[in-house]
Amino acid sequence: MSGRTWNWIGMLKVAAVAGLLAGTGLFLRYAEGFVRAASEGSEGALILVEVPAWVNWDLKARVAEMAGGSRFPIQDETAEVVARNLAPMAWLGNVRVQVTHDAVRVKAHWRKPVALIESQKSDAEYYVDSDLVVLDYMPMSNLPIVEVKGMAPGLAPTPGERFDRDDLAAAVALICLLERADAEFAPKTPLLEQIKSIDINNFKGHKQPLKPHIILNTTSGTQVWWGAEIGEWAKHLEAKDEQKLANLYAYYREHGSLSAEARYINVRDPRDRNYTPIDKYRK
């Protein structure tokens, strides 16, 4: 058979694969990364590209297992197969796979867990990231993940879906605010590492209007009375969000911890001592 005939057969095979993927809604997910192999018959190692520093060895190993192994044949369909294998993994988004002459390179958005939730119906645990995307549970002792308590009963979405609810969004927003503040003001001894859980049982004051709407529980048992969700301080005559943040970090800086044998730390009251606001976090 002539070389021209083989070229036509190869083009038809690629077109058929592209049509199939487009029909199932998967083509846009990884067609950009589909690269034909340079040499048939050889093998290439799986390489995870631009992996964030927080990703531990166990998570990398899990990705490799989902991908199908650590080595793959260098073939036309390899990129398609690996991307399809990784598509259901909630921890990854925007997966792109590139096959070279000696490697299978995977680049993706890694979803970092920030909050832990325990299901009241099944006792199962799961995470959510900063976008409220649900992640299936696996130990991540290298991260200061804060447990969210006091959520109203309800079934969580399946991993990979967004858990869109106001009380959880408020808790996650506060956790992310503390994470950003830690990166700038306490990178060596993050304040967030001393936060064990965040209680949203009285979210929006629906149970006790005069009590703090959001409470941070420290690892030593001290409570931090944050108050209203971010952006709602004025409606409840509380200190501004940047004042709360400044007061909290000032206390932490002065005492070296969030306990100092204190039963609670009240940062919501505008009449309490107010330190210079952290301008970067003004609303």
Q: Could you tell me where the DSSP H helices lie in the chain?
A: 3-24, 27-30, 57-67, 78-86, 166-185, 241-255
Identify the pLDDT of residue 78.
95
Q: Which residues does 3 contact at the CB level (< 8 Å), separation at least 6?
A: none
Q: State residue 49's pLDDT score.
A: 97
The domain 113-281 is placed in CATH, from the list 1.20.1440, 1.10.3470, 3.10.450, 3.40.50, at 3.40.50
pLDDT at residue 243, as a whole number: 94
The C-alpha atoms of residue 205 and residue 228 are separated, in whole angstroms, by 8
In the chain, the DSSP E strands lie at 43-49, 71-73, 92-99, 103-110, 113-118, 125-129, 134-136, 146-149, 195-199, 214-218, 223-227, 264-266
Task: Classify 75 as helix, strand or coil.
Answer: coil
Question: Per residue in 224-241, pLDDT tens?
Answer: 999 999 999 999 999 999
In the prediction, which pLDDT does 122 show? 66
In the chain, where the domains are located? 3-108, 113-281
**Of the candidates 211, 201, 215, 216, which has an alpha carbon nearest to the alpha carbon of residue 153?**
201
Which residue in 124, 55, 45 sits closest to 89, CA to CA?
55
**Residue ranges of the chain with pLDDT lower than 70?**
1-41, 120-122, 272-283
Rounded Cα distance, 24 and 213, in Å: 45
| Joined tokens for residue 216 | 């941070």
pTM: 0.80
CA distance 272 to 225: 12
Residue 185 has a pLDDT of: 92
Q: Residue 277: which of 249, 237, 254, 236 has the closest Cα?
A: 249
In this predicted structure, what is the pLDDT of residue 1? 47
